Structure 1
Amino acid sequence: MKNQNITDQVIRSMFQKKLFLFGLLELILVLILVIGFFRLWNIDFYVPFNYQGDTLWFLVPVKGMIDNGWTYNIPQLSAPFSLSAAAFPSMTNLDWGIMKVISFFIHDAGAVLNIFWLFSIVLTAWLATLALRFLDIGNWLALGLGLVYAFLPFALLRNIAHVSLVFYCVPLLSLFAIHLARGGEYPQANTVRIIGYLAAFAQGLNYIYFSFFAVLLFFFGGWLGYKHKCSWKPLRDTVIVCGIIVLSSALNLLPSYISWQEYGKPPGMDFKVPQEAEIYGLKLRKMLVPHEANTVPIFSYWGKRDHSIPFPNENENNTARLGPLAAFGFLLLLAVSLGLIRSNMAQRVGIIKPIASLALFSFLVTTVGGFGAIFNEVISPDIRCYNRFSVFIAFFSIAGLGIWLQAKLETVSSRRVQFMLLSGVVLLILFSLYDQLLDSVHLNNLRLNDEQSAYSEKQFVKQLEAKLSPETLVFQLPVTRFPGGMVERMFSYDHARPYLWSSHLHWSWPSFSLGHRNWQAQVEGLEGQALAEALILSKFRVVWIDRFGYSDNGARIISSLIAAGASDMLPGAHSRYVALDLEPVAVQLRQRLGRHEFTQRQTALLDVPGIEWSSGFYQEEYHPNTGKKFRWSQADSVIQIRNPTDISKPIILSFLAASVGRQGNLVVSTEKQQIVVPITDKLTPVELPLVLQPNTIQEVRFKGDMERIPLPPDEKRDFHLHFYLMDLRLQLLPVATSTDEKK
């Protein structure tokens, strides 16, 4: 017995050593590929691999975590208030936890994000290899296939620009779906079950997309296992794992819920619509196509031909390209699903059938016009980019092909044939890696321009900070929307750029709370003296102007502010940005108003309560003639006005109301008061005085008796338009003091 225990310990030690060496080998292979194809010896690691687009937003919480300890609240943004970053429900707490560990050693947001993304590739390779080993694929074949999976075009094309879509949990989630579909009765079933539960918990702490699709897969896999084994075990496991992932996801999104309860639902969160499932759905053609730069003539012709044809809705679904090996595997699984290939050459190949069913189910959900589009149409449009689930299909495809190849290698009796087959497998893996890694070229092509932009912006911000005291407020022009907000040559998140290089300034972007949006509405559209004074009253010292956001390169707004008394702090220092100092204007304003009136006007600007468009209203638009914001309304609609403070606030709710080709009365009411306004084609000014009680939400209802406005003949959406409100504002009235009353 003693000798047996010693033998077991020796075997366990050898296994652990072998596992460690195998993982180390895979790490080395990943690093070789990354260093070679990304030319890491020739780049500045502190500049993000992709310094544009969505990357800028993903850098914001990373820098916020480095500056403030964690990502939920960033006081350096949304000046003159603070950014509750947790309000944006795209929480990735597990990823942030890994980044937090990295930030203990490196205190730069760009470097932290770069290192995390590279580590995610390593982690994906490790976990994909582990999952493939649990499917009885041999060590070396699993290693090669794990590398192919880790370097999917999806990973390279998304890179840090969509870092929330790293997919290191997907192999284990897919393995558990296969476990359910098999019925959960095989030698390693208990181990796979535990791994699946852990993977579900981990995925729940990350971006909601893969969590959502994993739940769909688990239910389908559980149903397959139940039908296959006539046992309740798969359904039991399904309920448990879905419960884990739902609870974990709820925990992940809890900070967003708390933020919404405290500050209200942020404006602009209704930007997703059901038809986007058709726009961003998966396309079989894009999944199978090779890279256009492939040197093999037939693949090169196919890739270039596909790229040259203007197919509709070509967008991020390009990133769903599988690569040659996974594409071949997917075709194999489709053939199995359609009964074109018989899979009874060996007992283990029977696993391919449930994998093929899972792959086909995934494709039917995610393809253009698939079940996903029906889900968005009937239930919710929040999950709209179904092409992102291609990483599940890729794993099923690689796993199915790997099992088929493993069975072939084991059943071939001739050594010569076996050697030829093995050589073919190696060549297929190498060829697929070559084709897939061609998608790294676009990052290399952007690198020089990205580094130059980063260096010049960093230098400009540092020069500005040298002239300003800590925590100085900087107002950023032009005003842009969030989420989104592309203006002229400015991209959606370009206003994040200065913050990324700033160490002690506070920036006005983004406007992502009811309070900030209502404050911004009071200064938006102002120019010259009026804008300068409103910003000074809002505690701003500097105006940052991005020339790319103006058709005239910012000439008009810059000249108007300089005419009002502002001065250029860094003349000619940057071709794109201008920083104007408002201090000369502030000195004159304080002298003219005096302390008491200055404070009153400041309070009126900063303490405006928040408005939430609750129900019955459509998305915000801009009037083509006046340029003012307006919203169409159904016959009955509601807004909520939130007063989160401990004092009563007398306000005036003002707006312009009108209809188109319809007349009637608009009743504007609260619990205690009501006014009736005649509505015609002409804009009618309306004012409603209110007193907001402390820590309350005041509901204001709008009810129009005019008929529904006819829609254009080509409009397919079922809009119920009766009237519209334009330029809705809240004006905070001064509270009379005892001194005022005596006067």
Structure 2
Amino acid sequence: MTNEPFRSEHLLYFIQVVLTSLCLAILLRTWRFDMGIPFNYEGDTIFELALAKSIASGGWIWWVSDLGAPFGFDAAAFPQNITASSAVMKILSIFTSNPARILNLYWLLSCVLTSIVCCYSLRLFSFRWSVVLLVSTLYALLPYALQRNVAHISLTYAFVPVICAHCLRIISSSENDKLNRKNRAMLVVACVFLGLDYVYNAFFACFFLVCAAGVSTVIKRNSKPSRSAAPFIAIICIFSAINFVPSAVTWMTNGVPPNMSYKSAVEADYYGLKIRQVISPVMLERRADKAGFPLENENRFVRLGIVLALGYLLSIFYALFTAPPSRNDIRWAAGVLVLLGTFVATIGGLGSIFNLLIAPDIRAYNRIIVFIAFFSAVVLCALLSDVLRSIESQPVFQTRKWARQSASAGLVAMIFLAGLIDQGDAARPLVKRYSADSAQAIDEKDLVDKVEQRFPSVTQIYQLPETPFPLDAGQNRMKAYDHGRPFVWSKAVRWSWPSFSYRSEAWHERIGSLSDPEFLGNLFDSGFNGLWLDRYGYGEQDLPEIEASLRRQIGPPKLESNTKRYAFFDLSEKPGSPAANQGVSSVDRGELALDAPFLGFASGIYQKEAGADGESFRWSQRVSRILLSNPSATTRRVTFSAGFRSLPGGQLHILGSELDTMVDLQSGSGDFSVPLELPAKQTTKLTFRYVGDRVPANGDARVMYFRFVNPTLKED
């Protein structure tokens, strides 16, 4: 396997574990951390903590019963689907039920595992063990990993090196080289893990396997490389499809949830790769932050550090200025794959064309950097191995073994320290924010504990203000997903955040808003007996009015957080709430509110918009489907009605189980209304087929033929 025997491969991996763990401890100063507090406590981390909490509570990532009250949160409808990662977290939950500890441990373990797998993959190419240890550690501790940390556990990349190594072998190996059983098993494990996790790494893995097969086929003029790549592409695709099944099922049953059609082709440029960011040392990036470059977002996380950036630049040199038959085959192969990856991911690159012509779902092409980083690492390993070999061959070292070893070790250590210091700067924000995050988490946990201890009858809490999901840009001083914080620390309470279904959307429309005098009564009828107010969600002018309204109706808050950010109101003491008034009429009203029929939009229909005249409308593709759902235990008679607008000269064909009619849109507008009977616990589907011209929309990538105006479903 190697041209430089090592006493034990197991010892090599042990040293790799110790080295990576030690570097993590130093960079993060883990001796200061309470592992029960998340390393990062805002934004996407809150969502990941919610999933970890669901896992630790005996549930899973596809359905969270204690969120999205009163109906529950169908998390499968938001297809992150980190099944493989969640299985590991499920194992960790055997030892701890704290979601923050589970998330922290998973991320730390993934960093260590990444270094081990990278070490294994680099040793396949006979590089020096000292160089492999150096580069594997730097690869595991990329700024990409440190800056994304627990906020993006879906983007950990432990098994990426296995796929990358196979791509290089496809291009550079001879026809007689075959995978041994161990390598084949590692490839299968890597493909299964990638397929059962978030789609980005799976997509990029298939891309590079296709590229490797194509390049090898061209330079070797035979199809054998394609046969070497095809089985592993198939494994990734099969398990990715299996991983998507829960999302597909819920989409077919309930429709694609509201606010999910937010991805567009133009975002491939917005989140694209910037070469400046890839190769810049930390000092240059600090100057760039002040320069005000456009389109600076998560693509700032792609920095390789000064050491691996050298490998990136060298790989491009080898791709452009060396030929495949030369002794630098592996370097040329890595360089070609780096170039292809850069062409796809850069702003205005091939990824933008893919998104425009095929699908916009893979929008953050900067995330390809973990593949590019490994190919750069291979070139760097090859170069450093040659340099060490050259040093040791110098006459001055021929009779001085200690001097030869000291010179080699000194060079490797200097390069490693330079790279670690540069890359380690990415960990500074985590260290700096820990004190504030810890204080905030303790404050929130303390309030949630008090609510559950002092008000044991409170089982369902409504959260104000209402915030959108999944596109939550924050609201005043609230940040994205802040309403998920109390759930992380609760034990027996259901929370109203997030609203992420058409049923929930329809229910919110029925209960009204805080300005509606019936609002609190509707909450009572729906089973809520507590109210959580996040004062950060309101402006300074609005907050006094909001609190005054609540105090008039239900009295002062029963509890407040130490920081006064949160206030808790006990609705069970209000006459008419479920805890204080079990009258039949209240229960009946609650059942009607919760089980009322509602509309869902299955396919071909875009998000709701508001016109200048106050009308709500949704654009539709040529063919679209609406779902009419009846969640109650009895048959309901309803009337579906909608207006339609299109270019003049069209016709709209409407099909249902017992419906087949045409709406004339020759004038460009038309109205439709039909009585229907909805069976209990069933969903009825209406299909709309438009015959006519597409609506031209310059600068809008949507395919629009007509629009629904004020679609409504009313009970007779």
**TM-score, normalization by structure 1:** 0.86
2:475 matched residue in structure 1? 487
1:385 matched residue in structure 2? 364
Q: Which amino acid aligns with 2:348?
A: G
Give the Å deviation of 1:721: 6.9
- For the residue of structure 2 that corresponds to 1:222, the secondary structure is helix
Alignment of 1:179-194 (within 5 A): 179-183=169-173, 185=175, 189-190=179-180, 191-194=182-185
Counterpart among 602, 607, 612 of residue 619 in structure 1: 607
TM-superposition CA deviations, 1:612-635 (whole Å, max 9, x none) = 224553322355785x85434568
Give the Å deviation of 1:537: 1.1
Quick check: 1:659–1:680 contact (8 Å CA) kept in 2? Answer: no
Q: Distance in 1 between matches of 2:227 and 2:561?
A: 68
Alignment of 1:657-736 (within 5 A): 657=643, 671-672=658-659, 688-694=674-680, 696-700=682-686, 715=699, 717=701, 720=704, 723=707, 725-726=709-710, 728-732=711-715
1:444 matched residue in structure 2? 431
Matched, 1:548 2:548: no
Matched, 1:288 2:276: no
Give the Å deviation of 1:245: 1.0
Matched, 1:335 2:331: no
Matched, 1:253 2:235: no
Counterpart among 475, 478, 503 of residue 465 in structure 2: 478
Q: Distance in 1 between matches of 2:12 and 2:457?
A: 51
2:394 matched residue in structure 1? 414
Matched, 1:62 2:52: yes
TM-superposition CA deviations, 1:375-428 (whole Å, max 9, x none) = 111110111000001010010001112112213433553155877676444322
Quick check: 2:636–2:715 contact (8 Å CA) kept in 1? Answer: yes
1:640 matched residue in structure 2? 627
Q: Which amino acid aligns with 2:465?
A: P
Give me the CA root mean square deviation. 3.4
Give the Å deviation of 1:719: 6.3
TM-superposition CA deviations, 1:452-497 (whole Å, max 9, x none) = 1111111111111123336711111222221122333222211100
Q: Distance in 1 between matches of 2:441 and 2:692?
A: 55
Quick check: 2:525–2:578 contact (8 Å CA) kept in 1? Answer: no
Matched, 1:396 2:382: no
- For the residue of structure 1 that corresponds to 2:517, the secondary structure is helix
Instruction: Single out whichever of 640-649 and 696-705 deviates more from structure 2.
Output: 696-705
Identity, in percent, stands at 31
Quick check: 1:77–1:509 contact (8 Å CA) kept in 2? Answer: yes
Q: Distance in 1 between matches of 2:654 and 2:128?
A: 72
Q: Distance in 1 between matches of 2:316 and 2:516?
A: 65
Give the Å deviation of 1:288: 0.7
Give the Å deviation of 1:101: 1.8
Gaps of 5+ in 1: 1-10, 293-301, 734-743
TM-superposition CA deviations, 1:66-94 (whole Å, max 9, x none) = 11243332211111112232232111222
Quick check: 1:532–1:561 contact (8 Å CA) kept in 2? Answer: no
Q: Which amino acid aligns with 2:638?
A: I
Alignment of 1:568-587 (within 5 A): 568-570=557-559, 574-587=563-576
Matched, 1:559 2:548: yes
Alignment of 1:349-360 (within 5 A): 349-360=328-339
Q: Distance in 1 between matches of 2:292 and 2:369?
A: 22
Give the Å deviation of 1:596: 4.1
Give the Å deviation of 1:305: 3.0
Q: Which amino acid aligns with 2:679?
A: Q
1:233 matched residue in structure 2? 224
Q: Distance in 1 between matches of 2:317 and 2:122?
A: 21
* Matched residues, number: 701
Quick check: 1:590–1:598 contact (8 Å CA) kept in 2? Answer: no
TM-superposition CA deviations, 1:83-125 (whole Å, max 9, x none) = 2322321112221122122221122000111111111111011
Alignment of 1:1-400 (within 5 A): 18-183=8-173, 185=175, 189-190=179-180, 191-292=182-283, 302-339=284-321, 347=327, 349-400=328-379
Give the Å deviation of 1:65: 0.7
Q: Distance in 2 between matches of 1:197 and 1:209?
A: 18
Give the Å deviation of 1:529: 3.1
TM-superposition CA deviations, 1:210-252 (whole Å, max 9, x none) = 0011011111111222233334332112111111111222222
Distance of aligned partners of 1:246 and 1:589 in 2 relative to their CA distance in 1, 3 Å threshold: closer
Q: Distance in 1 between matches of 2:500 and 2:396?
A: 66
Quick check: 1:652–1:687 contact (8 Å CA) kept in 2? Answer: yes
Give the Å deviation of 1:166: 0.6
Q: Distance in 2 between matches of 1:111 and 1:397?
A: 33
Give the Å deviation of 1:361: 1.0
Give the Å deviation of 1:578: 1.8
Q: Distance in 2 between matches of 1:395 and 1:572?
A: 47
Q: Distance in 1 between matches of 2:10 and 2:337?
A: 32
Distance of aligned partners of 1:458 and 1:605 in 2 relative to their CA distance in 1, 3 Å threshold: same
- For the residue of structure 2 that corresponds to 1:650, the secondary structure is strand
Matched, 1:469 2:451: no
Quick check: 2:107–2:150 contact (8 Å CA) kept in 1? Answer: yes
Q: Distance in 1 between matches of 2:647 and 2:178?
A: 71
Q: Distance in 2 between matches of 1:534 and 1:698?
A: 27
Quick check: 1:528–1:561 contact (8 Å CA) kept in 2? Answer: no
Quick check: 2:279–2:303 contact (8 Å CA) kept in 1? Answer: yes
**TM-score, normalization by structure 2:** 0.89
